């Protein structure tokens, strides 16, 4: 075979193999594109988050009107959080046999799509609007409302979302803004949805949410104008989702409050801080209540809130461990029942979640979470050290001795030695405390 023929044969084979590989790559990429399109459709049709917003407003309304108590609202909260965690979808992600070859092929396909005026396909899920939307939902569920709102604004600014997905983002923006205390902008978002999507079901959701915040706002303004700062005022504001206002009231009365009010102030401060996403500060206030009086009703509630915070967060194990450690001191009979109920709820949901699957990349928000959980771990370590010291102290402390002491005048005293020095012995008897001069003692014996 001539050299020229050999070169031509190699070129032909190379071209044939390359064409087969590129054709295979094209098929795989188009199949992946179709899968992502279906996933996006699932996300758009998923309304569970809208339901959770309505339930949260309704729960607070029932709390304010005292139709339910805090314990019942906590159970509702856990059920909703479990429903949300089991309703997540897989993040869009390309998986092909030849990942390195995907890049040149994807550029060729995107060039053709550009000529056809179609949006490009991306190999980076973080650049996809559905990924960003899931990220914003995650921040919102973890009460990082400011960060969630920023991401929602970014998605809307890119102009790649339309229809129900855009309306959904506006609704969630309104919710975040209302929690942050910006009622004017929240109303604008809801009204925008009602005007632009008035012929869809999502407009009804926006109208209901608008009705709730308008009712809450009227009552908040009335309370702020006519009621003096007190624990009850702060409690009412908290129940009306006016977390910032509630926190300000509690801070204002904290210094002049009596011992009885201190627990309530710490509790509602912690609740407001928790709802505003300031978890570390919330835990410190919950711990403060437990240290004040570990057997009080508020100590039970505070520890349960720490547990709920743990179950509500993907990195919440330190909170759960802290609650379990606290319960050794509190002895909450219902604590194990609550943990069992929630374990059953979790088993009903999906074991895997999209946020956990995509949790390998470290973000600044995850870094913030790690700082918060490290703060909880420090509290937990201190608590465990304290428990160890207390246990060692109990072991090493000398137990009071029951003594029978004979006196020179014929009297006999039986009791526990409370204090002894060079000249006297103080004992606790059945009739009270007795101090005896050692020079008068003729005999003493230890009772077994």
Cα–Cα dist 385/292, whole Å: 18
* Residue-wise DSSP of 300-337: HHHHHHHHHHHHTSTT-HHHHHHHHHHHHHH--TTHHH
Answer yes or no: is pLDDT of 391 > 60: no
Does 336 fall in a domain? Answer: no
Average pLDDT over residues 181-190: 94
Regarding predicted confidence, which is higher, 29 or 388?
A: 29
Average pLDDT value for residue range 315-334 = 84
Residue 182: inside a domain = yes
CA dist list (Å): 269 to 65, 218, 400: 20, 23, 43
81, 149, 236, 286, 354 from 243: Cα distances, Å = 20, 18, 10, 16, 30
Above 70 in pLDDT, residue 288?
Answer: yes
> Going by C-beta distance under 8 Å and a sequence separation of 6 or more, which residues neighbour residue 140?
148, 172, 175, 176
Q: Which of 180, 196, 212 is the last residue of a domain?
A: 196
Q: What sign does the CA torsion over 291, 292, 295, 299 have? A: negative
- Final residue of a domain: which of 196, 229, 258? 196
DSSP-based helix, strand, coil % in the chain, nearest 5: 70, 5, 20
Residues 6+ apart with CB under 8 A from 161: 129, 133, 155, 169
Q: How far apart are CA 185 and CA 174, in angstroms?
A: 7
Instruction: Tell me if 39 sits within 8 A of 31, measured CB to CB.
Output: no
Euclidean distance between CA atoms 118 and 215, whole angstroms: 45
Total residue count of the chain as it appears in this document: 448
* pLDDT for 1 beyond 70: no
Under the banding of pLDDT at 50, 70 and 90, the label for residue 50 is: confident
Last residue of a domain, one of 196, 230, 257: 196
- Residue 77's nearest CA partner among 58, 102, 105, 93 is 58
> What pLDDT score was predicted for residue 356?
39
Whether 406 maps to a domain, the answer reads yes
Beta strand 424-429 with 441-446 is unpaired
How is residue 108 written in tokens?
A: 């060729």
Mean predicted confidence (pLDDT) in 309-335: 82
Q: How confident is the prediction for the chain on average, in pLDDT?
A: 78
Residue 253: per-residue pLDDT: 93
Domain around 70:
10-196
For 429, list phi and psi in degrees, rounded to 5: -110, 180
- For the segment 372-394, the average pLDDT, to the nearest whole number, is 59
Q: Among the listed ranges 41-50, 67-76, 340-349, which one has the minimum average pLDDT value?
A: 41-50
* pLDDT value, residue 387: 54
> pLDDT-derived band of residue 354, with 50, 70 and 90 as boundaries?
very low
Angle (nearest 5°) at CA 128 between 173 and 106: 165
Residue 91 falls within a domain, yes or no? yes
* Single pTM value for the model: 0.64
324 domain residue, yes or no: no
pLDDT at 240: 94
Residue 123's pLDDT band (cuts 50, 70, 90): low
Q: CATH code at 434?
A: 2.30.30.100
State the pLDDT at residue 34. Answer: 60
Instruction: Render pLDDT for 147-172 as a digit per residue (tens, 0 to 9).
Output: 999 999 998 988 777 888 889 999 99
pLDDT given for residue 184 in this prediction: 93
Q: DSSP 3-state assignment of 418?
A: strand
Assess if residue 332 is contained within a domain: no
Distance CA 413, CA 430 (A): 10
Residue 92 has pLDDT above 60, yes or no: no
Would you state the pLDDT for residue 44? 46
Residue 157 belongs to a domain: yes
Give the pLDDT of residue 352.
41
Lowest mean pLDDT among 99-103, 190-194, 258-262, 288-292: 99-103
Contact 40, 92 (CB under 8 A): yes
In the chain, % of residues over pLDDT 70: 70
Give the pLDDT confidence score for residue 350 in this predicted structure. Answer: 43
Q: Where are the alpha helices (DSSP H) in 86-162?
A: 99-115, 129-141, 145-158
Is residue 214's pLDDT more than 90? yes
> How much is the pLDDT for 445?
83
Question: Residue 128 — pLDDT band, cuts 50, 70, 90?
Answer: low
State the DSSP string of 328-357.
HHH--TTHHHHHHHHHHHHHHS-S--HHHH
pLDDT tens per residue, range 414-448: 888 888 888 888 888 877 788 888 888 888 888 76
Interatomic CA distance for residues 323 and 206, integer angstroms:
37
Residue 277 domain-assigned?
Answer: no
Lowest mean pLDDT among 19-23, 181-185, 274-278, 317-321: 19-23
How many Å apart are CA 134 and CA 172, to the nearest integer?
A: 12
Domain count for the chain, please give it: 2
**Least trusted range by pLDDT, from 83-92, 113-122, 214-223, 272-281:** 83-92
Q: What is the pLDDT of residue 69?
A: 85
> Mean per-residue pLDDT for 3-19?
78
- Is pLDDT above 50 for 6? yes
pLDDT-based confidence at residue 331 (cuts at 50, 70, 90): confident
Question: Which pLDDT value is given to residue 376?
Answer: 67
pLDDT at position 153 is: 93
How much is the pLDDT for 362?
43
């Amino acid at each position: 075979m001539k050299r020229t023929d050999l070169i031509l044969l190699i070129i032909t084979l190379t071209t044939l193999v390359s064409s087969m590989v590129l054709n295979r790559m094209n098929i795989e990429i188009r199949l992946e594109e179709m899968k992502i399109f279906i996933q996006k459709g699932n996300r758009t049709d998923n309304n569970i988050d809208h339901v959770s917003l309505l339930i949260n407003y309704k729960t607070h309304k029932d709390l304010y009107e005292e139709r339910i108590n805090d314990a019942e609202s906590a159970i509702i909260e856990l059920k909703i959080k479990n429903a949300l965690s089991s309703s997540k979808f897989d993040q869009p992600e390309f998986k092909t046999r030849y990942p390195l070859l995907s890049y040149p092929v994807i550029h060729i396909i995107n060039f053709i799509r550009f000529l056809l005026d179609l949006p490009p396909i991306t190999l980076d899920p973080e650049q996809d609007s559905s990924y960003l939307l899931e990220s914003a939902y995650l921040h919102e569920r973890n009460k990082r409302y400011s960060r969630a709102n920023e991401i929602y604004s970014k998605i809307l600014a890119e102009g790649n979302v339309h229809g129900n997905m855009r309306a959904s983002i506006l609704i969630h923006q309104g919710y975040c803004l209302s929690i942050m205390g910006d009622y004017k902008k929240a109303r604008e978002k809801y009204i925008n949805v009602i005007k632009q999507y008035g012929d869809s079901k999502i407009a009804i959701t926006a109208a209901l949410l608008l009705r709730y915040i308008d009712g809450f706002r009227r009552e908040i303004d009335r309370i702020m104008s006519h009621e003096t700062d007190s624990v009850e005022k702060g409690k009412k504001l908290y129940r009306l989702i006016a977390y910032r206002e509630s926190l300000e009231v509690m801070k204002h009365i904290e210094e002049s409050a009596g011992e009885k009010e201190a627990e309530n102030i710490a509790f509602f401060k912690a609740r407001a801080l928790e709802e505003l996403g300031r978890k570390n500060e919330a835990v410190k206030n919950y711990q403060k209540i437990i240290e004040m009086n570990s057997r009080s009703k508020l100590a039970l509630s505070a520890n349960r809130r720490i547990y709920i915070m743990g179950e509500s967060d993907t990195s919440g194990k330190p909170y759960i461990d802290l609650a379990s450690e606290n319960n050794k001191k509190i002895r909450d009979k219902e604590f194990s029942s609550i943990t069992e109920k929630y374990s059953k709820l979790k088993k009903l949901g999906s074991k895997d979640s999209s946020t956990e699957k995509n949790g390998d990349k470290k973000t600044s928000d995850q870094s913030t979470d790690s700082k918060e959980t490290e703060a909880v771990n420090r509290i937990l370590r201190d608590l465990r050290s304290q428990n160890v010291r207390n246990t060692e102290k109990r072991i090493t402390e000398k137990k009071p001795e029951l003594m029978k002491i004979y006196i020179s005048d014929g009297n006999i005293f039986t009791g526990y030695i409370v204090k002894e020095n060079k000249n006297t012995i103080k004992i606790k008897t059945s009739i009270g405390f007795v101090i005896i001069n050692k020079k008068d003692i003729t005999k003493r014996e230890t009772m077994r």
